[in-house]
Structure 1
Amino acid sequence: MLEVIYVVRHGYRSNWTVDPSTGHYNSTVPSPTGIVADPALASYGVQQARELGTHLTKLNPPVDLIYSSPFYRCIQTLKPFTDALASSGKSAKVHVDRGVGEFYGQARFDHPSPATIEVLNDHFDNLIEAETSIIPSKNGESIPQLHDRVAYALNAIISRADNDPSEPKTLLICTHAAAMIAIGRALTGRMPEDECEDDFNCFTCSFSMGLPQAWNPEKADEVPDVGWRGRGVAGGWDCEVNGDCSFLTGGEERGWNFEMEKQQYNMEHGLAADALGPPLTAEQQVAAPGVEEDKEAGKKQ
Structure 2
Amino acid sequence: MVLETIYVLRHANRVHYNLDSRTGVYSSAYGIANPTGLGNDPVLAAHGVEQSIEFANHVLQLDPPVDIIYSSPFYRCLQTLTPALETIFAQRKEFPLVRVENGIGEFFGRAHFHHPSPAPPSVLLSHFPSIDPTYTPIITPATNGETIPGLHDRLAYALYRMIMELDDHPAKPRSVLICSHAATIIAVGRVLTGRMPENESEHDFDAFTCGLSKFNRRVRSPVRGVVGGWDCELNSDCSFLAGGQEYGWHFNGDESFIDDKKSML
Does residue 65 of the first structure (1) align with residue 55 of the second (2)?
no
Partner letter of residue 6 of structure 1?
A: Y
In 2: Cα distance, 1:163 partner to 1:225 partner:
11
Deviation string 1:230-259 (CA, Å, 9 cap, x unpaired) is x43xxx100011010011011100000112
SS of match in other structure, 2:171? coil
Provide the residue aligned with 1:135 in structure 2.
140
Q: 1:191 to 1:39 in 2, by over 3 A?
A: same
**TM-score normalised to the size of structure 2?**
0.91
Q: Once the two structures are superposed, what CA deviation does each residue of 1:11-54 show, in whole Å capped at 9, x if it has no partner?
A: 11111111111101112211011111111101000001111111
**Aligned match for 1:208, one of 197, 213, 217:** 213
Secondary structure of the residue aligned to 1:136 is coil
Cα distance in 2 for residues equivalent to 1:184 and 1:65:
19
Structure-to-structure mapping, 1:61-210, within 5 angstroms: 61-88=64-91, 89-129=93-133, 130-210=135-215
CA offset digits 1:166-194 (Å, max 9, x no partner): 11111000000000001101110110111
Where does residue 4 of structure 1 map in the other structure?
5
- The structure-2 alpha-carbon separation of the partners of 1:189 and 1:178, relative to structure 1 and needing over 3 Å to count, comes to same
Residues of 2 paired with 1:20 and 1:225: CA distance?
41
The DSSP-based 3-state class of the residue aligned with 1:6 is strand
Q: For 2:143 and 2:90, how far apart are their aligned partners in 1?
A: 38
Answer with 202-211 or 20-29: which moved more: 20-29
Q: CA deviation at 1:132?
A: 2.4
| Alignment match, 1:252 | 245
Counterparts of 1:198 and 1:252, CA distance in 2: 15
Instruction: Specify the code of the residue in structure 1 equivalent to 2:144.
Output: N
1:276-299 per-position Cα deviation (integer Å, ceiling 9, x unaligned): xxxxxxxxxxxxxxxxxxxxxxxx
Residue 50 (structure 2) aligned to one of 47, 51, 72: 47
Runs of 4+ in 1 over 2 A off after TM superposition: 129-132
SS of equivalent to 2:132: strand
**RMSD of aligned residue pairs (Cα, Å):** 1.6
Cα distance in structure 2, aligned partners of 1:246 and 1:87? 24
Distance 1:151 1:135 in 2: 13
Q: How many residues align?
A: 253
Q: Distance in 2 between matches of 1:160 and 1:131?
A: 12
SS of residue paired to 1:215: coil
Q: Counterpart amino acid of 2:123? A: V
Q: TM-score, normalised by structure 1?
A: 0.81
Q: CA deviation at 1:58?
A: 1.4
Q: Name the SS of the counterpart of 1:161 in structure 2.
A: helix
Q: Which amino acid aligns with 1:199?
A: D
Shift of 1:93: 1.0
Is the CA contact 2:155–2:188 (under 8 Å) kept in the aligned structure 1?
yes
Measured in 1, the distance between the counterparts of 2:145 and 2:185 equals 17
Cα deviation for residue 81 of structure 1 reads 0.4
Q: Matches of residues 210-229 of structure 1 in structure 2 within 5 Å?
A: 210-215=215-220
User: In the aligned structure 2, how far is the partner of 1:253 from the partner of 1:151?
Assistant: 27
Hey, what's the Cα distance between the residues in 1 that align with 2:146 and 2:52? 28
Amino acid at match of 2:148: I
Q: Contact 2:98/2:130 (CA < 8 Å) preserved in 1? A: yes
What does residue 15 of structure 1 align with?
16
Once residues 33 and 82 of structure 1 are traced to their aligned partners in structure 2, the CA distance between those partners, rounded to angstroms, is: 21
1:225 CA displacement:
8.2
What is the aligned-residue identity percentage? 49
- Kindly report which structure 2 residues correspond to 1:274-285, keeping only aligned pairs within 5 A, or say none: none
